């Protein structure tokens, strides 16, 4: 049996409250008392695609950032491609592609290609490999014509696609995406979902953990859905099983019944 791509065991994370007045000076030393994740445990199998679903503040981004080695958990443990993000962060990063869902994160005065080459070189990819890989990915993301323009002249959707290419450059075994289609137009989002499903998941066998508010994206991409509510895991199953568990006809309804939240708290345009 294959080892899981991601294992999370009793993971907890708390943040310190924001201090004000003169106490703000002590902020860096404040004790973490506000829980963001409460004892979350799950596994993502190799080649599997798992969606994180929850309202804002449910703990989706915190979970992804812990796995991406950008945050330290308060308690519990995790493993990404067999490595612990706390004990072996460099080994985790070698296996990991991370896209924070933001259209920031590039050097505005450099071109798209120069940015991708820079980040690729920091992942210790050779120049020759990068040249080919950037071309191939740019073609798939329909970015070939934009690669040699300075990033400051690109639209936010284009920058987001560039960011997705960056997360895929080193052919990661595990891909963590935080709202990957947030700034993409409907056509680009649909293209990207197809690319993820058939190329990244289907052909390359990459494991995917992604947070999304877009329910049709989740139904299209996810083998299983992990529902988080105020930091706790509420349910973890395939979209169909979640629907039948909640006696619901749609994922929206299942989410609403399982968490007690109305669908409007998830995203107005998600239907």
Binding residues for another protein, rule: CB under 8 A, are 15-16, 25, 27-30, 32, 62, 65, 68-72, 74, 90, 93-94, 96, 98, 100, 102, 104-110, 114, 118-119, 121-124, 150, 163, 166
* Residue closer to another protein, measured from CB, 123 or 216: 123
Q: How far apart are CA 84 and CA 128, in angstroms?
A: 31
Q: Which residues pair with 210 in a beta bridge?
A: 51, 177
* Residue closer to another protein, measured from CB, 42 or 106: 106
**Least distance (Å) between residue 59 CB and another protein:** 12
**Least distance (Å) between residue 113 CB and another protein:** 11
* Residue closer to another protein, measured from CB, 107 or 129: 107
**Least distance (Å) between residue 213 CB and another protein:** 21
Question: What is the signed CA dihedral for 150, 156, 158, 161, rounded to 10 degrees?
Answer: 120
Q: How far apart are CA 168 and CA 166, in angstroms?
A: 5
* Residue closer to another protein, measured from CB, 138 or 151: 151
**Least distance (Å) between residue 124 CB and another protein:** 5
Residue 6's closest CA among 72, 50, 36? Answer: 50
Task: Report whether 224 contacts 23 (CB < 8 A).
Answer: no
The three-class DSSP label of residue 149 is: coil
Pairing state of beta strands 96-99 and 6-15? unpaired
């Amino acid at each position: 049996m294959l080892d899981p791509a991601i294992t999370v065991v009793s993971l907890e994370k708390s943040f310190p409250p924001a201090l004000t007045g003169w106490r703000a000076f002590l902020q860096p030393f404040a004790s973490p008392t506000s829980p963001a994740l409460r004892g979350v445990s799950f596994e993502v199998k190799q080649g599997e695609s798992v969606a994180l679903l929850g309202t804002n503040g449910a703990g989706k981004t915190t979970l992804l950032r812990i796995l991406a080695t950008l945050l330290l958990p308060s308690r519990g443990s995790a493993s990404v491609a067999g490595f612990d993000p706390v004990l072996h962060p460099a080994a985790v990063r070698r296996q990991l592609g991370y896209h924070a869902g933001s259209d920031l994160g590039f050097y505005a005065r450099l071109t798209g290609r120069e940015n991708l080459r820079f980040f690729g070189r920091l992942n210790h990819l050779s120049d020759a490999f990068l040249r080919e890989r950037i071309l191939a990915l740019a073609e798939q993301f329909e970015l070939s014509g934009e690669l040699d323009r300075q990033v400051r002249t690109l639209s936010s959707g284009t920058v987001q696609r560039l960011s997705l290419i960056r997360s895929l450059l080193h052919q990661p075994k595990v891909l963590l995406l935080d709202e990957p289609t947030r700034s993409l137009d409907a056509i680009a989002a649909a293209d990207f979902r197809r690319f993820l499903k058939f190329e990244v998941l289907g052909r390359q066998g990459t494991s995917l953990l992604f947070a999304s508010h877009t329910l049709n994206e989740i139904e299209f991409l996810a083998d299983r859905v992990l529902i988080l509510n105020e930091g706790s895991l509420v349910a973890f199953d395939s979209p169909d099983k979640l629907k039948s568990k909640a006696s619901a006809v749609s994922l929206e309804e299942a989410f609403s019944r399982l968490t007690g939240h109305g669908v409007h708290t998830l995203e107005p345009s998600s239907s």
